[in-house]
Structure 1
Amino acid sequence: MNVFIVGGTGTLGRQIVRRALDEGHQVHCLVRSPAKATFLREWGATLLQGNLCYPESIVDALKYCGASVIIDAATTRPTDTLTIEAVDWQGKVNLIQAAQAADIQHFIFFSIMGAQDYPHVPLMQIKQCTEDFLRESGLNYTILRPSGFFQGIIGQYAIPILENHSIWVMGESTAIAYMDTQDVAKFAVRCLDRAATYGQAFDLAGPEAWTADQIIKLCENLSGQEAKITRLPIGVLRATRQLTQWFQWTWNISDRLAFTEVIASGTSLNAPMEEVYRVFDLDPTETLTLEAYLQEYFTRILRKLKELDYEKVKQKKASRKRSPFKSTP
């Protein structure tokens, strides 16, 4: 199948590209900078330069590649110069309208679990509005709503513990059913040959929901190091968000801080998955657990750290032997 993927350079998007190629699909990726996406070309994808903020570039790319399916995994990053509204709302409107004009047969969109419950959080509100716009577009659509990715846990918990830095925990600990992006990609690519997913929205939850304290404990056990935890009340988070709203260059940070309130609310982000696995014909026992993911990560990192330490010791010993200033008895 000829697939048009948006957001292919992202944490999730690259896994979708890899999975689609591995399963024999023809993949075209809309990218802002082909130079930064050469790895996708090396995998076998065709790169088409374009930008969600420029509707004509989307129209031209779809016309060129002749794709029948769109998988949209794009979103703004906190460091982007473009705002969440520009990319995650107006950009998605542009993409959906281009899909209508190109007579796309199936549009697969990534939202967020529980978006409808947080209308005061900009990213959640925009995701919900985009879902509504897609439903009203007349396109065959599938909406996938993951709650969070294992990959985000590394920077938030694992690395600070290894580097003896503080982990910031805010508000009441929320249990989140994270998933590995490779498993999320399975669902996205499986949509390509599942007409049963048309017109449906699916929450995607991992095998178990984890609170921040549970994740920290797991990381401590696997790393053999004690975490430094700094707990902040939700009021401090809200005050910081209000401050960042005053400056245009911190708008994205402000919006992301608002999203942090979701994971500090104490309301679990989890969902039953039995029916979802049945519809997608996937085996739940093959879904990676957080324990296995972090075990592999810490084993690999700690082994590398030991190797680096061993090399440093060898270099120091060699340096002492070669030193011309070494004293003689």
Structure 2
Amino acid sequence: MKLLVVGATGTLGRQIARRALDEGHQVRCLVRNLRKAAFLKEWGAELVKGDLCQPDTLPPALKDIEAIIDAATARATDTLNIREIDWDGKVSLIQAAVAADIQRYIFFSILNAEQFPNVPLMDIKHCTEKFLAESGLNYTILRPCGFMQGLIGQYAIPILDNRVVWVTGESTPIAYMDTIDIAKFAVRALELPQTEQKTFPVVGTRAWSADEIVNLCERLSGQNAKISRVPMGVLRTIRRIAGWLQWGRNVADRLAFAEVLASGKPLDASMEETYKSFEFDPKEVTTVEAYLQEYFTRIMKKLKEIGYEREKQKQKKKQQSFFK
């Protein structure tokens, strides 16, 4: 199948592109910066320059395309805000897909998006779900809630570097899933009629609180974490201040997500129907324990190797200075 991956340079999008290529699909990627997306071309994908916020660039990108996997979303560092990318841009893409008679549209939303109308990203994702469902396209909506890849920067690296791990005062458990596994669901949806016109949660084997993740990282690394808890009141104040500044509005919208984390409602769901519909064995899903164990095993081995090489260099220098 010839498909267009949108958001292919992101954490999830690159795994989707890789998986689709590995399964023999012809993959085209809509990218804003061809240089930054060069690795996708090396993998075998076709690159086409375009932007969700420039509707006239979308029809050429959709020429001869049969399916779209849409994993794009605004980043905190983007100059445009969430509404411009995740709503205006997605509406343009869906309308262009209708005009191009696209056969399948796979969209990534967020779990429980409808429960948080006051959180911009959640509200926009929910509105996009409804817009897509009413578009007439043959869609599948996938709703993850957290990527395991994010645990490395938020927890693992600070603990290894003996830096502070920042967590909110309140901690909502999150069922993290490896983006490699999420990509499998997205690509598999293209070939399974039973996934059409439906919405599915795509979450990990269990929900983890911040404290549980910290404890696991401490055990696997053999190091103690320095934890600093940020009260929700402080985050709300920062959000209000950022919202007053033109450059800070996207950051403010992202900070609003802290309200989800402070809700006390676990970001988790039953995967029984998802596994059945996608003909997926739950045993194939990576667990948080296995993911972090692999990371720490690999990084600790690397650190030991670096330490060994440094010691060799020191000994070599001592020997050289001795004979001078």
TM bucket (normalised to shorter chain) is: over 0.9
| TM-score for both structures, normalised by structure 2 | 0.98
SS at the partner of 1:240? helix
SS at the partner of 1:36? coil
- The CA deviation at 1:83 is 1.1
Q: 2:302 aligns with which of 301, 304, 317?
A: 304
Q: Counterpart in 2 of 1:135?
A: 133
* Residue correspondences, number: 324
| TM-score for both structures, normalised by structure 1 | 0.96
Q: Counterpart in 1 of 2:277?
A: 279
Tell me how far apart the structure 2 counterparts of residues 308 and 133 of structure 1 sit (CA, whole Å): 53
SS at the partner of 2:177? coil
The residue identity in structure 1 corresponding to 2:278 is F
8 A Cα contact 1:131 1:143, kept in partner: yes
- The CA deviation at 1:261 is 2.1
The residue identity in structure 2 corresponding to 1:186 is K
Q: Counterpart in 1 of 2:156?
A: 158
Q: Counterpart in 2 of 1:171?
A: 169
**RMSD, matched Cα:** 1.2
Show the 5 A alignment for 1:308-319. 308-319=306-317
Q: Counterpart in 2 of 1:226?
A: 224
SS at the partner of 2:290? helix
Q: Counterpart in 1 of 2:16?
A: 16
8 A Cα contact 1:107 1:142, kept in partner: yes
SS at the partner of 1:235? helix
Show the 5 A alignment for 1:240-255. 240-255=238-253
The residue identity in structure 2 corresponding to 1:72 is D
8 A Cα contact 1:161 1:226, kept in partner: yes
The residue identity in structure 1 corresponding to 2:102 is I
Q: Counterpart in 2 of 1:124?
A: 122
- The CA deviation at 1:294 is 0.2
Tell me how far apart the structure 1 counterparts of residues 302 and 155 of structure 2 sit (CA, whole Å): 19
- The CA deviation at 1:324 is 7.6
SS at the partner of 1:144? strand
SS at the partner of 1:35? coil
- The CA deviation at 1:175 is 0.9
Q: What fraction of aligned residue pairs are identical, expressed as a percent?
A: 63
Tell me how far apart the structure 2 counterparts of residues 244 and 118 of structure 1 sit (CA, whole Å): 21
- The CA deviation at 1:97 is 0.6
The residue identity in structure 2 corresponding to 1:138 is G
Q: Counterpart in 2 of 1:68?
A: 66
Q: Counterpart in 2 of 1:33?
A: 33
**Residues 18-69 of structure 1, C-alpha deviations (whole Å, 9 max, x = no match):** 1111111111111111111111111111111111111110111112xx1110
8 A Cα contact 1:207 1:287, kept in partner: yes
- The CA deviation at 1:194 is 1.1
1:83 lines up with 2:81 in the alignment? yes
The residue identity in structure 2 corresponding to 1:182 is I
1:260 lines up with 2:234 in the alignment? no
Q: Counterpart in 2 of 1:213?
A: 211
Tell me how far apart the structure 2 counterparts of residues 247 and 325 of structure 1 sit (CA, whole Å): 63
- The CA deviation at 1:190 is 0.6
Q: Which runs of 5+ in 2 are unaligned?
A: none
8 A Cα contact 1:171 1:265, kept in partner: no
SS at the partner of 2:56? helix
Tell me how far apart the structure 2 counterparts of residues 249 and 56 of structure 1 sit (CA, whole Å): 26
SS at the partner of 2:78? coil
Tell me how far apart the structure 2 counterparts of residues 246 and 164 of structure 1 sit (CA, whole Å): 35
Q: Counterpart in 2 of 1:105?
A: 103
Tell me how far apart the structure 2 counterparts of residues 87 and 201 of structure 1 sit (CA, whole Å): 22
Tell me how far apart the structure 2 counterparts of residues 168 and 286 of structure 1 sit (CA, whole Å): 32
Q: 1:204 aligns with which of 190, 202, 205?
A: 202
The residue identity in structure 2 corresponding to 1:223 is S
Q: Which runs of 5+ in 1 are unaligned?
A: none
SS at the partner of 1:169? strand
Tell me how far apart the structure 1 counterparts of residues 50 and 60 of structure 2 sit (CA, whole Å): 9
- The CA deviation at 1:264 is 2.7
SS at the partner of 1:161? helix
SS at the partner of 1:245? helix
Q: Counterpart in 1 of 2:43?
A: 43
